[in-house]
Structure 1
Amino acid sequence: MPEATADEPSRWRDPKRYLWLSALAVPTLPFQAGALAHLTGLELFWWWGPVFAFVLIPVLDAAVGRDGSNPPEAIMKALDADRYYRWCTYLYLPLQYGALVWACGIWAYGGLSVAGDLGLAATTGVVAGVAINTAHELGHKRQRVERRLSRIALAQTWYGHFFVEHNHGHHLRVATPEDPASSRLGESFWRFLPRTVLGGVRSAWRIESARLERRGRRVWSGDNQVLTAWALSAALFAALTAAFGWAVLPYLAVQAVLGFCLLESVNYLEHYGLLRERLPDGRYERVAPRHSWNSDNTVSNLLLFQLQRHSDHHANPLRRYQTLRHFDEAPELPSGYATMIVTCWFPRVWRRIMDARLLAHYDGDVTLANRRPTAGVRRDVSSRRGA
């Protein structure tokens, strides 16, 4: 496990300290798109968000490379307590919502073509998808203000139930067949998508219903965090519709769907085929770094508040992004999330790349993987193993 050491740990300074602010380039993507379209007179620049995320970032990831260094253990506590890093995540939200309101103004009064409006919706969807990642970072913390900010960040995509399911469902069942957010070997993204979306909603409702019943409270009440999250989204969409007219609703819907599909693309690649073993008592083994795919690509880690160091996150869910560590035992993705998200949309390409890596992780023993419950998968993978 490589570590970024110094002559004296007390003198160590985070070399990325101010680079974390680059993550704030994401919520400004609609503004960037508008500026580029205005300067060039070309409506195609309203599609700048997808180009930034899925063309520019993969290129930069390849050019800049990886960073597998870790902060010295001696400064972890002080680094975790540094409030500067919290403000980097807090600032995402006003930019996120400023961009959303501005986009509604363009949809209502900008006079763009349908293609231009859809491009802006796609760009706003990129912001919304990464906002779920910001909500993920905030939602794992104990401070009430951060947990509330997490719910606000999720309102744009109608994915407030993620706060409940992810913390109390996914983290308990990760890398098991019971987890709707853990993809299976041989399962395409397009098969995974409806399973994880519907499964996540059902799981969140069951978890929250059980919590309220244990406390003797009514499920259909303001105490239900799933219902209040959806109510917040409804209030947001109603306010934007009242302010800008019904014309904005289709584009609000498009950006919301694209946003949560982006999240589910990330869910798909984070645990693909990885499986925790059952212990003799029937429980699953404790989550370890080997149960999550990692990526140390520098640029995408900066933009995603180091979400790609996912193994340490699952081992230590309360650990803040600036202190997440690289583990040599964690399986490594061939590139950053920006590249792998696009790859997973093409199942044959994805399987050609990832099935071999998964088999190598398990020393060729496909029975150790989290597989689709079909005999055909084993035959397919076994044939790949022998190729």
Structure 2
Amino acid sequence: MALHSEPPVEPPVTPLTWRDPKRYLWLLGLVIPAFPFIAWGLVAATGLGVFWWIGVVVLYVIFPVVDQLIGKDSVNPPESALAQLEQDRYYRWCIFAYLPLQYAGLVLGCWLLAEGGLSLTGKIGLAVTLGGVSGIAINTAHELGHKKESAERWLSRIALAQTFYGHFYIEHNRGHHVRVATPEDPASARLGESFWRFLPRTVAGSLTSAWHLEKTRLGRAGKSLWGPHNDILTAWAMSVALFAALALAFGPGILPYLAFQAVFGFCLLEVINYTEHYGLRRERTASGRYERCAPRHSWNSDNVASNVFLYHLQRHSDHHANPTRRYQSLRHFDDAPEMPTGYAGMIVLAYFPPIWRRVMDHRVVAHYEGDVTRANIQPSKRARILARYGAAA
């Protein structure tokens, strides 16, 4: 079976005549790490403490609306331009710039929490806003962590330090990409599984998997699990050092808010994970192995706004087919299942399971042409789902 289907045929074009229509839109991704600065400025200008909650307003209200207003873009870069796109370092700097803004905003946020005279409500709102930045930073780390250059991989770990989620670097690359869209993958949501049930399963399962993967790697290399060669321990050490430095600089009173923003941040990542493979399952071949990952095993969206702010994460099928491919080169596939809106809107629906099921469950069944037994079904809901949708005729 082919690794992936062919994308739509593009008219002949040379690299010199093709221009990326989103080239300068990628800079809009830097609006997110600027959230703390924007909040501070708006509160100072208006005196309204509600602006400390700007992260919630933008992520859960403004972005979903903008996604719908702007619409979709399914245009692919032509094959002749891919090499040029991959080598253009401008796109890398759009990603790199996220990190200094991320940590400048974190320092500002800690100073405001310690010295800004905020009310408890204001402090919680600011912590949520910081968590929005750190959550999207995991997506930035995701883009960097798949690359071959060691500098980008180290930057990925630095981006993860704010959420104490450094094990994601290991589990995502060596675990999720191997087991994606199978019942064994803790990061692939099952049909009938609510986000609130998925969340503890994926958090615990991903950590357990990352530890097992690292233990296996170090065992094969003949190295100790408890030492500097353990990438999980070194990642956690970076987070401990970061939190300790901030506590020393601004007082231990900021630690509860740092913990809160970290939890909010990795929960934001996991709700995006929940949407990406919901109910989709790879079949086993005659040899007993799972078939190779194809476009039909990821939910996609071409909504422009979410794709710009998440570095084309919604072109998820091509990412799984070509993990090292850079975000600007990812392609749309006509045969990939499409979500009704972008990730920004879908994560809001995921928080409300009855609405999510009404929107998505029938799409999963339709994707499998009415044969729900082909889906990745939540075991505790299997009898109910089969009774509702019926087994294959």
In the TM superposition, what is the alpha-carbon distance from 1:7 to its structure 2 partner?
A: 5.5
Say whether 1:247 aligns with 2:253. yes
Report the more deviating stretch, 199-208 or 33-42: 33-42
Contact 1:3 / 1:69 at 8 angstroms: preserved in 2? Answer: no
1:44-193 mapped onto 2 (5 Å cutoff): 44-193=50-199
* Alignment correspondent of 1:331: 337
* Alignment correspondent of 2:297: 291
In the TM superposition, what is the alpha-carbon distance from 1:380 to its structure 2 partner?
A: 3.5
* Alignment correspondent of 2:266: 260
Alpha-carbon displacement from aligned partner over 1:4-60 (angstroms, at most 9, x marks no partner):
657645310111111100000000011111111111111011000110111111111
Say whether 1:383 aligns with 2:383. no
Report the more deviating stretch, 152-161 or 74-83: 74-83
Contact 2:300 / 2:314 at 8 angstroms: preserved in 1? Answer: yes
In the TM superposition, what is the alpha-carbon distance from 1:377 to its structure 2 partner?
A: 3.4
* Alignment correspondent of 1:12: 18
In the TM superposition, what is the alpha-carbon distance from 1:161 to its structure 2 partner?
A: 0.2
Say whether 1:229 aligns with 2:235. yes
Contact 1:5 / 1:12 at 8 angstroms: preserved in 2? Answer: no
Alpha-carbon displacement from aligned partner over 1:35-86 (angstroms, at most 9, x marks no partner):
1111111101100011011111111111100000100111101111110000
Q: 1:385 to 1:22 in 2, by over 3 A?
A: farther
Q: Report the residue type matching 2:122 in the other structure.
A: G
Contact 1:3 / 1:71 at 8 angstroms: preserved in 2? Answer: no
* Alignment correspondent of 1:278: 284
* Alignment correspondent of 2:3: none
Alpha-carbon displacement from aligned partner over 1:78-107 (angstroms, at most 9, x marks no partner):
111110000000000000000000000000
1:199-238 mapped onto 2 (5 Å cutoff): 199-238=205-244
Which runs of 5 or more residues in structure 2 are unaligned? 1-6
Contact 1:183 / 1:269 at 8 angstroms: preserved in 2? Answer: yes
Contact 2:372 / 2:389 at 8 angstroms: preserved in 1? Answer: no
* Alignment correspondent of 1:361: 367
Q: 1:115 to 1:296 in 2, by over 3 A?
A: same
Q: Alignment partner of 1:357: what SS?
A: helix
Contact 2:186 / 2:202 at 8 angstroms: preserved in 1? Answer: yes
* Alignment correspondent of 1:352: 358
Contact 1:44 / 1:116 at 8 angstroms: preserved in 2? Answer: yes
Return the match for 1:305 from 299, 306, 311.
311
Instruction: State the alpha-carbon separation in 2 of the partners of residues 252 and 118 from structure 1.
Output: 10
Normalised by the size of structure 1, how large is the TM-score?
Answer: 0.97
Contact 1:89 / 1:134 at 8 angstroms: preserved in 2? Answer: yes
* Alignment correspondent of 1:33: 39
Contact 1:300 / 1:337 at 8 angstroms: preserved in 2? Answer: yes
Q: 1:164 to 1:7 in 2, by over 3 A?
A: closer
Q: Alignment partner of 2:282: what SS?
A: coil
In the TM superposition, what is the alpha-carbon distance from 1:382 to its structure 2 partner?
A: 4.5
Alpha-carbon displacement from aligned partner over 1:248-292 (angstroms, at most 9, x marks no partner):
111101100000000000110000000000011111000111100
Instruction: State the alpha-carbon separation in 1 of the partners of residues 81 and 386 from structure 2.
Output: 45
Contact 1:181 / 1:200 at 8 angstroms: preserved in 2? Answer: yes
Instruction: State the alpha-carbon separation in 1 of the partners of residues 96 and 361 from structure 2.
Output: 38
Which runs of 5 or more residues in structure 1 are unaligned? none
In the TM superposition, what is the alpha-carbon distance from 1:348 to its structure 2 partner?
A: 0.5
Contact 1:355 / 1:381 at 8 angstroms: preserved in 2? Answer: no
Contact 2:301 / 2:315 at 8 angstroms: preserved in 1? Answer: yes
Return the match for 1:341 from 347, 352, 370.
347
Instruction: State the alpha-carbon separation in 2 of the partners of residues 150 and 372 from structure 1.
Output: 32
Alpha-carbon displacement from aligned partner over 1:213-257 (angstroms, at most 9, x marks no partner):
000000011100000000100000000000000111111011000
Normalised by the size of structure 2, how large is the TM-score?
Answer: 0.96
Instruction: State the alpha-carbon separation in 2 of the partners of residues 61 and 76 from structure 1.
Output: 26
Q: 1:3 to 1:99 in 2, by over 3 A?
A: farther
Instruction: State the alpha-carbon separation in 2 of the partners of residues 215 and 104 from structure 1.
Output: 41
Alpha-carbon displacement from aligned partner over 1:338-370 (angstroms, at most 9, x marks no partner):
110111010000000000111110001000000
Q: 1:216 to 1:356 in 2, by over 3 A?
A: same
Q: Alignment partner of 1:217: what SS?
A: coil
Q: Report the residue type matching 1:16 in the other structure.
A: K
Instruction: State the alpha-carbon separation in 1 of the partners of residues 141 and 36 from structure 2.
Output: 20
Runs of 4+ in 1 over 6 A off after TM superposition: none
Superposition CA RMSD, Å? 1.3
Alpha-carbon displacement from aligned partner over 1:279-306 (angstroms, at most 9, x marks no partner):
1111100011110000100011000001
In the TM superposition, what is the alpha-carbon distance from 1:383 to its structure 2 partner?
A: 2.3
Q: Alignment partner of 2:181: what SS?
A: coil
What percentage of residue pairs aligned between the two structures are identical?
Answer: 62
